[in-house]
Structure 1
Amino acid sequence: MITQKGQSIEDKSMEIIDSEIGSHPYSEDEWTIVKRIIHSTADFDFARANKIVFHKDAISSATDALQKGCNIITDVNGVIGGFNKDNMKKFGNQVICNISDAAVIEEAKKLNKTRAQTSMRLVARQMDHGVVAIGNAPTALTEVIQMIREGITSPALVIGIPVGFVCAVESKDELRTLDTPYITNIGRKGGSPCASAIVNALYKIIAKRST
């Protein structure tokens, strides 16, 4: 639970972001998400060259799924660290990250795949109708895309915002070709704080609608 002092700092930060960005092409709900990403990274580029891109059904699909208690699958524990856990408790959302599980490590070695790839493949059933939040590993994102194309899973939303130099850009480009709802960005930038911020912002949108 955020303190009054903490809330005042956050509110001031959001005012600064609004002031520095000025006009933008995002809808009100989209801007809630973009602004929270900027707040978590202090990087205004996410509203500019490395802009956030939304599937037309991304927000409606995700907020509906979250309110129904869907699973949230992440690629790394760092994404979980940025979540506001009170939100998950309210709706009964289970957060799943198995990248450090012994079974994942063993299977990855056997198949000569990354742990991130293998971790996604092993939770295909749990991510069905859930929210997938990938902020670190491009191979996790490419695996999820492949699984969707194979028809073995159908997430309500794929947050694909991995950071990096190898396959990060390409995986995001490929995600934008899917009909599955997604939120991603242009370019190499991204990271776990961005993925966490998107999920937290989706809960903010839910809360705003209920008032």
Structure 2
Amino acid sequence: MVLSDVTLQDFIGPAEIEAESLRIIDSEVPKPRPFQGEQWQIVRRMIHTTADFEMLKLVRFHEKAVESGLNALKDGAVIVTDTEMARCGMPLRRLDPLGCSVRCLMNDERVVARARAEGITRAKAAVDVAVSEIKPEIYVVGNAPTALIRLVEHFDNGLVSPALVVGMPVGFVNAAESKALLLSRGMPYVTIEGRKGGSALAASVINALAMIAL
């Protein structure tokens, strides 16, 4: 189809959009695929979210990430994320049936006060509060490298052992480096190499896992 010739009749209805999108992704990534089974369902959802087939080269899974993440969701995990966008990207219609909840602490009074008192970013302070007071099973980092770095520090100090870390901070300063740090540790992770990432991408991983769990 030539794009200049598109008419209103050419657009697919809302009920078919997702199914058609996934069909297109499957057709453009023929078998044998670099990811199989549940990992492919997650990566396919990430491609669906970004329209970026480079995910096929960039996504990295810890060997226990899928199993550990699914078990946590089925047990009603508490999920903490670093942005409101990611929180909104994990809809209650998928989390409520599993008994899961998702929180973003960036505007929490405790976080704001701690960041101001210690002269650190709110992203760091939010991880500190989450680790000490909430103890979530799953961490979803889609924006702030400082959040992911702080989480690794707490892991190194034996203060946290999450069931899953979705580590996908985006940007040009410390984003790639923070993900490389995550890759070097033993926490179950889903991450991507390099500068790409973002809240929508990170949320898509939890959505894919929740859909599998359901």
What TM-score comes out, normalization by structure 1 length?
Answer: 0.91
Count of matched residue pairs: 201
Structure 1's 163 and 46: CA in aligned 2 closer, same or farther, altered over 3 A?
Answer: same
* Structure 2 residue matching 1:123: 3-state secondary structure: helix
Q: Give, in whole Å, the separation in 2 of the partners of 1:96 and 1:70.
A: 11
**SS at the partner of 2:196?**
coil
Return closer, same or farther for 1:16/1:202 CA change in 2, 3 Å cut-off.
same
The residue type paired with residue 36 of structure 1 is: R
Structure 2: tracts of 5 or more residues without a match = 1-12
Which of 96, 99, 106 aligns to 1:89? It is 96
Pairs within 5 Å for 1:1-211: 5-23=13-31, 24-48=33-57, 51-125=58-132, 128=135, 130-207=137-214
Larger Rg computed on CA atoms:
2
4+ residue runs over 6 A deviation: none
Aligned-residue CA RMSD in angstroms?
1.4
CA contact (8 A) 1:40 1:194 kept: yes
Shift of 1:97: 1.0
Unmatched segments (≥5 aa) in structure 1: none
Deviates more, 1:81-90 or 1:61-70: 81-90
2:130 and 2:136 in contact (8 A); partners too: no
Letter in 2 for 1:39: H
Displacement, 1:7?
Answer: 4.0
Do 1:129 and 1:154's aligned partners in 2 also have CA atoms closer than 8 Å? no
Percent identical among aligned pairs is: 38
Which digits, 9 at most, give the CA deviation of each residue in 1:92-133, with x for residues without a partner?
A: 212121101222122112211110011011110466461111
SS of the residue corresponding to residue 73 of structure 1 reads strand
Whether the 8 Å CA contact 1:127–1:153 is kept in 2: the answer is no
- Rounded Cα–Cα distance in structure 1 between residues aligned with 2:73 and 2:135: 13
Secondary structure of 2:60's counterpart equals: strand
Say which SS state the counterpart of residue 54 (structure 2) adopts: helix
